[in-house]
A and B are shown apart, each in its own frame.
Chain A
Amino acid sequence: MDFDYTVEENAFREEVRNFISDNLPPKKERDKNFLNTWLEKVRAKGWVGFSWPKEFGGSDGGLIEQTILREEMALAKAPPLGTSMMGLAWVGPGIMEYGTEEQKRKFIPDILDSKVTWCTGYSEPNHGSDLAAIQCKAELRGDSYLVNGQKIWTTGAPWSQWIILLTRTQFDVESKHDGITCLLVPMDAPGVEVRPIENMAGDKHFAEIFFTDVEVPIENRLGAEGEGWKVTVSALANERSSIGEVTQMFAKLENLKELVKSTQKQGKPAQENPGVRRKVAQFEMKIAAMKYNGLRYLTKQIKGEPLTSETSVNKLHRASLEIEMDDFAVELTGQAGLQLRGGEAAIDGGAWAKSALNWPNVVIGGGTPNIQRNIISERLLGMPKD
Chain B
Amino acid sequence: MNFGFTEEQNLLRDQVERFMQDTCPMTRVRELSGTGGFDAALWKQIGDLGWLGLLIPEAYGGLGLKWIDQVVVLEAAATGLCPLPIASHALASTAVLACASDEQKSRWLPLMASGEAICTLGLYDDANWIDPSAITATAKANADGYVLSGTKPFVNDASNASYLLLAVQGPEGLALAAVSKDEVRITPQPTMDSTKPMASVDLDGVAINAESLLAMTTEQLSYLTDCGALAVTAEMVGAGDSILNLTSDYAKQRIQFGKPIGQYQGVKHRLADMYVDLESYRSLCYFAGWCADDDPKELARAVSLAKGYASDAFNQIGIDGVGLHGAIGFTAEYDAQLFLKRSKWARPMFGDSDFHLDRVASLGGL
Contact = CB atoms under 8 A, between A and B. Distances in A.
Interface of A: 1-5, 9, 64, 67, 257, 260-261, 271, 274, 277-278, 280-282, 284-286, 288-290, 292-293, 295-296, 298-300, 302-303, 310, 313, 316-317, 370, 372-374, 376-378, 380-386
A282 B284 CA distance: 13
A285 B262 contact: no
A292 B290 CA distance: 12
A257 B280 contact: no
A277 B354 CA distance: 10
Contacts, number: 152
B14 interface: no
A370 B251 CA distance: 18
B256 to A, nearest CB: 13
Contacts of B284: 285, 288-289, 292
20 contacts: A5-B1, A277-B357, A277-B358, A277-B366, A278-B357, A278-B358, A285-B309, A293-B279, A293-B280, A295-B283, A299-B4, A313-B280, A376-B272, A376-B275, A376-B276, A377-B262, A377-B269, A383-B268, A384-B262, A384-B263
A303 B269 contact: no
A280 B263 contact: no
Contacts of A373: 265, 268-269, 272-273
B107 interface: no
A260 B280 contact: no
A257 B283 contact: no
B220 to A, nearest CB: 25
B357 A299 contact: no
Contact of A370 (B265, B271, B280, B294): B265
B357 A281 contact: yes
B360 interface: yes
Nearest to A1: B290
| Chain A contact residues, majority secondary structure | helix
Nearest to B358: A277
Given A285-B360, A373-B268, A376-B276, A384 B260 contact: yes
Contact of B4 (A288, A300, A382): A300
Nearest to A3: B1
A326 B291 CA distance: 32
Contacts of B5: 1
A299 B3 CA distance: 6
A281 B308 contact: yes
A317 B281 CA distance: 13
B248 interface: yes
Contacts of A298: 1, 3
Contacts of B276: 313, 316-317, 376
B283 A292 contact: yes
Given A383-B267, A384-B252, 11 more contacts: A1-B3, A67-B1, A257-B364, A257-B365, A274-B354, A280-B364, A313-B279, A372-B272, A373-B269, A376-B275, A386-B263
A299 B248 contact: no
Given A289-B281, A292-B283, A281 B364 contact: yes
A260 B365 CA distance: 11
B1 A280 contact: no
Contacts of B244: 381
Given A289-B284, A303-B4, A381-B248, A3 B366 contact: no
Interface of B: 1-6, 68, 244, 248, 251-252, 259-260, 262-263, 265, 267-269, 271-273, 275-276, 279-281, 283-284, 286-287, 290, 294-295, 305, 308-309, 354, 357-358, 360-361, 364-366
Given A285-B309, A376-B275, A383-B248, A3 B365 contact: no
A286 B2 CA distance: 21
In the complex, the 8 A-B pairs of residues with the closest C-beta atoms, listed nearest first: A289-B280, A292-B283, A373-B272, A281-B360, A277-B361, A376-B272, A281-B357, A383-B262
A278 B354 contact: yes
A378 to B, nearest CB: 7
Contacts of B308: 281-282, 285
Nearest to B249: A382
Contacts of A67: 1
B317 to A, nearest CB: 13
Contacts of A385: 263
A382 B252 CA distance: 8
A293 B283 contact: yes
Given A1-B290, A296-B286, A280 B252 contact: no
Contacts of A281: 308, 357-358, 360-361, 364, 366
Nearest to B268: A377
Contacts of A261: 366
B361 A3 contact: no
A164 B267 CA distance: 36
A383 B266 CA distance: 12
Contacts of B260: 383-384
A5 B265 CA distance: 43
A385 B271 CA distance: 14
A302 B4 CA distance: 10
A303 to B, nearest CB: 7
Nearest to B262: A383
A285 B294 CA distance: 21
Nearest to B354: A278
B151 to A, nearest CB: 31
Nearest to A373: B272
A1 B68 contact: yes
A380 B275 contact: yes
